[in-house]
Amino acid sequence: MTGVLSSEAGVITAIGIVRAKPGREEELGKRMAALIGPTREEPGCIAYDLLRSIDDPAVWILLEKWRSRIDLDEHIRSAHLQAFLRSKDDVLALPPESHRVVGHPGPVYGASP
């Protein structure tokens, strides 16, 4: 995944990408959806959205915005995310892929003026 997702000063955008084991796509989505409520209540959470690939229904994506890296680090240590991570091998085909990005200060390649 490429591109700039946040141009707000100091805001950290996190992207998490996971692939379900065959036949476990809906269970993975259910488990990830259970993270939304508690995460949105965390200090520093600006946005926490669960997306599903239209090209590959086994792929789920979390698109997150955090006020700071400290807030994101606290989220990673949260009880609900740690519980999900402890049981991830039941539903994930591959280890989670994650990216932390910040807005680009100048023009974005390929963006319209």
The CATH number of whichever domain residue 30 belongs to comes to 3.30.70.100
Q: Average pLDDT in the 48-74 region? A: 96
% of residues, the chain, pLDDT over 90: 78
Residue 6's pLDDT is: 43
112 lies in some domain: no
Q: How many CB atoms lie within 10 A of CB 32?
A: 20
The domain of 56 spans 12-101
Q: Phi and psi of 9, rounded to 5°?
A: -60, 125
109 lies in some domain: no
3 lies in some domain: no
Q: Which of 71, 83, 99, 80 is nearest to 37 (CA)?
A: 80
Contacts of residue 69, defined as CB under 8 A and 6 or more positions apart, other chains included, come to 12, 100
68 lies in some domain: yes
Q: Which residues pair with 52 in a beta bridge?
A: 60
Gap between the Cα atoms of 81 and 91, Å rounded? 15
107 lies in some domain: no
78 lies in some domain: yes
pLDDT at 10 over 50: yes
- DSSP type of residue 96: -
Q: How many domains does the chain have?
A: 1
pLDDT at 25 over 80: yes
